[in-house]
Chain A
Amino acid sequence: MIDVIDLRKRYGDLEVLKGITTTIRECEKVVIIGPSGSGKSTFLRCLNCLEDPTGGEIIFEGVNIADMRVDINIHRRRMGMVFQQFNLFNNKNVIENIMLAPVYIRTQELRAKKIKNFFIRIRNLFTSNKKELYEINTTKAKIIEEAKEQALKLLRRIGLEDKAYVYPSTLSGGQKQRIAIIRSLAMNPKVILFDEPTSALDPEMVGEVLDLIKQLADEGMTMVIVTHEMGFARKVATRVLFMDEGQIVEENTPEELFSNPKHPRTKEFLSKVLSVH
């Protein structure tokens, strides 16, 4: 579903990604591990072009989204992203956070269709070969109603319906992150990118967030997850990538990679992190 071909990213003289090639298939749960500063976040952020790659291709659903000419906004809607710092919109309450993008985008699409129909109607006045109008079977009110229903359903799913109308500043870290996750789900993405989703959480809240991610994984969502939670990686991953110095040093199934790392740098990294835990 995502083909990454020789992806490169540099900041000035610093080459952060030095040619990454990999394929993320439908339903895969790819976990990325590696030392801090190895380029994991940069890689993830290049996947949805939050950082523009400086070389290589990212083919998502058949389109090279690294090409600066494509309208990246359209493709990002099919790719969720969850951040370490949650990044809930502080000026919106919980349900507005969830509804903002779906309502805006669907309304925008509706408006675009109406405008096109308007021109088709004018055109049809002057020609005998009539062009068909775009079918419009919704209204703005309906879009809002549906988005609200969906948001409430998602909130119910994580047991936070009662928080629908409060602002993010009153929520715990774990609640914020779970809401951030369902906010990205509300766009019905094909894949979700997680950048250290539990690193900013107090230890007692890590579990609730990992549980939710695990649920989504079990439902078949495609995921790319950067994490330091090795136990979780072992449980959820279908494939683990070990990154160091801007490259994929080694990739394998979790069982193989964790119990039988091949590359010396992987061994060194794993011995460090596993001894800490």
Chain B
Amino acid sequence: MGSFAKKVEKFWEVFYEHGGYTRVLTGLRNTFYIAVAGLVIGIIIGTIIAIIAVSPKYKRLPRILNRICRLYVGFFRGSPMVVQLLLFYFVLLPLFGSRMTPLSVCMLVFGLNSGAYVSEIMRGGIMSVDPGQMEAARALGLSYWVSMLKVVVPQAVKNIIPTLGNEFIVLIKETSIVSFVGASDLYVAFSYIGSNTYEFMVPYLVMALIYIVLVAIIALIVKMIERSLRKSDRRN
């Protein structure tokens, strides 16, 4: 036990007195940026794919678009996110000669990946909306896309808020891989502390705690949003 206390002491020295916490804060911020950007991009892409997936297919264009979307979803769901991240950063970017910071690449890849998952969630949400809603909008002379975006999708989103919350938690957890392309997140911050103290037990323990608390807080927020939505259902 005595040696554990010593380890904590060493950790605290680097964490607090040598400014290790600024790295942790940066890592936390990046984790958050990547997860939020990922979810936002994911919702946009996922919604577009879902609308294409449920649109009537007797014209040529929706059929072609749908096939492209299926390839897209197949790729992003069918390979590990680490692989996607590496592919983007070390293969695609150099090929296109594009210079992006590791952080923005991570946001983009997390968004693209999340889009594939959100599209399935969103498709379920859209299909759970009464088809009469679409018919009424169409009967008023609104186009398919306008009816979708103004009437159907808002109701679908309401139905899938809990599942989207889960997706956000998945993204938060997945951020622990971004160091593969040199973005700094919590893992990088705590590894830095660890390698400065030659001692990894406490840093990784604290890191685990931070992840758990973070996820618990988000789960709580999602639950609160859910509850307030249900309440508004009743009150309205």
User: What residues of chain A have their CB less than 8 Å away from a CB belonging to chain B?
Assistant: 48, 50, 73-77, 79-81, 83, 85, 87-93, 100-101, 104-105, 166-167, 169-170, 180, 183-184, 187
Contact = CB atoms under 8 A, between A and B. Distances in A.
B17 interface: no
A89 B136 contact: yes
Given A91-B155, A104-B150, A76 B141 contact: yes
13 contacts: A50-B138, A73-B141, A76-B138, A76-B141, A79-B139, A83-B139, A85-B132, A87-B135, A89-B136, A100-B137, A100-B142, A167-B236, A180-B136
B135 A104 contact: no
Contacts of A105: 141-142
Contacts of A73: 138, 141-143
A92 to B, nearest CB: 8
Contacts of A180: 136
B127 to A, nearest CB: 16
A209 to B, nearest CB: 16
A87 B236 contact: no
B136 A83 contact: yes
A79 B138 CA distance: 11
Contacts of A170: 236
Nearest to B139: A81
Contacts of B130: 85, 87, 90
B146 interface: yes
Q: How large is the interface on B (under 10, 10 to 19, 20 to 34, 35 or more residues)?
A: 20 to 34
Nearest to A71: B143
Pick the most buried of A93, A100, A170: most chain B CB atoms within 10 A of its CB.
A100
Nearest to A49: B138
Interface of B: 130, 132-133, 135-143, 146, 150-151, 154-155, 158, 233, 236
Top 7 A-B pairs, shortest CB-CB distance = A167-B236, A77-B141, A87-B136, A101-B140, A81-B139, A87-B132, A76-B141
Given A77-B141, A90-B155, A101-B141, A169 B132 contact: no
A91 B136 CA distance: 13
A81 B134 CA distance: 13
Nearest to B157: A91
Contact of B132 (A80, A83, A183, A187): A83
Contacts of B132: 83, 85, 87
Contact of B135 (A80, A83, A183): A83
Nearest to B158: A91
A97 to B, nearest CB: 9
A199 to B, nearest CB: 14
Contact of A48 (B137, B139, B143): B139
B144 to A, nearest CB: 9
Given A83-B132, A91-B154, A91-B158, A187 B141 contact: yes
Contacts of A77: 140-141
A184 B140 contact: yes
Contacts of A184: 139-140
Contact of A104 (B136, B139, B142, B236): B142
Given A91-B155, A104-B150, 11 more contacts: A76-B139, A77-B140, A77-B141, A80-B139, A83-B132, A85-B132, A89-B137, A89-B151, A90-B133, A100-B137, A101-B141
B236 A169 contact: yes
Given A90-B155, A91-B151, A91-B155, A50 B141 contact: no
Contacts of B150: 100, 104
B133 A74 contact: no
Contacts of A89: 133, 136-137, 151
Contacts of B141: 73-77, 101, 105, 187
B236 to A, nearest CB: 3
A183 B236 CA distance: 19
A85 B146 CA distance: 22
B233 A169 contact: yes
Nearest to B140: A101
A226 to B, nearest CB: 15
A253 B229 CA distance: 52
Contacts of A79: 139
B59 to A, nearest CB: 9
A88 B136 CA distance: 8
A86 to B, nearest CB: 8
A81 to B, nearest CB: 4
Nearest to A78: B141
Contacts of B137: 89, 100-101
A148 B141 CA distance: 19
